[in-house]
């Protein structure tokens, strides 16, 4: 802000939130591409583009250029957020999926909490551009490692590859993958179906609509909360530039506590149902006895934060409020991220959704 001669708090907030705007638009492209070409291709492309755009942000010479590259970073960085949970569902048994999902969710949630701690001191020592150079180095290393180690997990694509291999080896052109769609459907049609399907789920299936809106509000509040830290703790409590980064730690602590509690509880519920011989249903993860305490922690934490800041109470009190909010946030994340019991079940649901305008209640 100082280097580009900006003083508007609105500009400062938008500079932060435009990255999240990329998260909003990225899934619209990533989701259909992953269902057509597989997950690994999307991961590799996202890793490379994220690294390139990080270099652009580091070399920015104006506020507009920096905003543009931050948006593109969010766009490419949305790949693991969009299909990461799908990859976990591909490889993890359902009774262990809760903890795995919670651990995965800590990446996009815990990153913005821990990153500013290092970033605050790095900016003070070497300038803001080195934040992006450090991200470039880390993202580049991960991109190379992923290229050699990350394997495809999307079952329909794997079965189709196996089918194509068997056709080539045996010469039997009648072989067909169990999860294959209509043979007459072209790649363009598949992309169109995959692009339209999420909107059908979002607008025509009430439970999906309600959960999506709830998660959007909660996730938005988290980042709005983050934007207040630099004003509240620096101006009101006198934190310096380096120490202001540590104000994000309470959110990380709360998320860590939340993943331990709610991730374990989620899997325990599934394991008990399995032991009782009950068929697993994803809805068990949103039972009121499980999700309601997490939902109540969100307003409780926000109230404690706002009340203590308004009356200038000791800085530890608003931090406790952030911890409570973050615990509840992880509980909501675990409750809301659910998947069908198998890829075959998912495929059947997808087919019925493409045929019928609305899924049965």
* CATH number where 204 lies: 1.20.1250.20
Q: From first to last of the 361 residues of the chain, give the pLDDT tens digit.
A: 888 888 777 788 788 788 888 888 888 888 878 877 888 899 999 999 999 999 999 998 888 899 999 999 999 998 988 888 888 888 887 767 767 777 787 777 777 777 777 787 888 888 889 999 999 999 999 999 999 998 888 877 888 778 888 888 887 777 777 666 555 456 677 677 777 777 787 788 887 788 888 888 888 888 788 878 877 887 788 787 667 777 888 888 888 888 777 767 766 776 776 777 766 666 665 666 667 787 888 999 999 999 998 888 888 899 999 999 988 888 777 766 654 444 444 444 555 555 544 444 3
Tell me, yes or no, whether 82 lies in a domain: yes
Tell me, yes or no, whether 1 lies in a domain: no
What pTM value is reported for the model? 0.69
Tell me, yes or no, whether 320 lies in a domain: yes
Tell me, yes or no, whether 3 lies in a domain: no
* Cα distance between residue 219 and residue 130, in whole Å: 27
Tell me, yes or no, whether 261 lies in a domain: yes
Q: What is the pLDDT of residue 299?
A: 92
Tell me, yes or no, whether 111 lies in a domain: yes
**What is the domain range of residue 18?**
9-180+187-355
Q: How many domains does the chain contain in total?
A: 1
Tell me, yes or no, whether 4 lies in a domain: no
- CA distances 12 to 119, 132, 265, 289, 309, Å, are 16, 17, 39, 40, 21
Tell me, yes or no, whether 2 lies in a domain: no
């Amino acid at each position: 802000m100082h280097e580009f001669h900006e003083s508007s708090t609105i500009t400062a907030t938008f500079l932060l939130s435009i990255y999240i705007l990329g998260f909003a638009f990225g899934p619209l492209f990533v989701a259909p591409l992953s269902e057509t070409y597989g997950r690994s291709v999307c991961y590799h492309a996202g890793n490379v583009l994220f690294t390139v755009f990080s270099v652009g942000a580091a070399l920015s010479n104006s506020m507009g250029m920096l905003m543009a590259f931050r948006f593109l970073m969010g766009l490419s960085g949305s790949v693991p957020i969009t299909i990461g949970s799908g990859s976990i569902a591909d490889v993890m048994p359902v009774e262990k999926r809760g903890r795995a999902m919670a651990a995965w969710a800590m990446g996009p949630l815990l990153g913005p909490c821990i990153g500013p701690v290092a970033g605050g001191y790095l900016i003070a020592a070497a300038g803001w551009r080195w934040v992006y150079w450090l991200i470039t180095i880390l993202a580049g290393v991960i991109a190379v490692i992923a290229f050699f180690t990350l394997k495809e997990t999307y079952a329909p694509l794997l079965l189709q590859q196996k089918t194509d291999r068997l056709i080539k080896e045996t010469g039997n052109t009648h072989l067909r993958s169990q999860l294959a769609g209509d043979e007459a459907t072209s790649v363009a049609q598949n992309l169109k179906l995959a692009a339209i399907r999420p909107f059908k789920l979002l607008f025509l299936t009430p439970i999906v609509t309600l959960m999506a809106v709830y998660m959007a509000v909660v996730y938005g509040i988290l980042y709005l909360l983050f934007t207040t830290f630099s004003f509240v703790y620096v101006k009101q409590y006198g934190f310096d530039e380096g120490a202001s980064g540590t104000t994000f730690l309470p959110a990380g602590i709360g998320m860590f506590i939340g993943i331990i509690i709610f991730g374990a509880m989620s899997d325990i519920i599934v394991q008990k149902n399995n032991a009782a011989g009950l068929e697993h249903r994803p809805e068990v993860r949103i039972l009121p006895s499980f999700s309601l305490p997490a939902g109540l922690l969100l307003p409780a934490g926000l109230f404690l934060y706002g009340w203590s800041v308004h009356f200038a109470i000791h800085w530890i009190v608003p931090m406790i409020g952030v911890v409570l909010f973050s615990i509840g946030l992880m509980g909501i994340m675990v409750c809301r991220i659910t998947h069908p019991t198998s890829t075959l079940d998912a495929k059947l649901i997808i087919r019925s959704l493409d045929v019928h305008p609305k899924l049965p209640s």
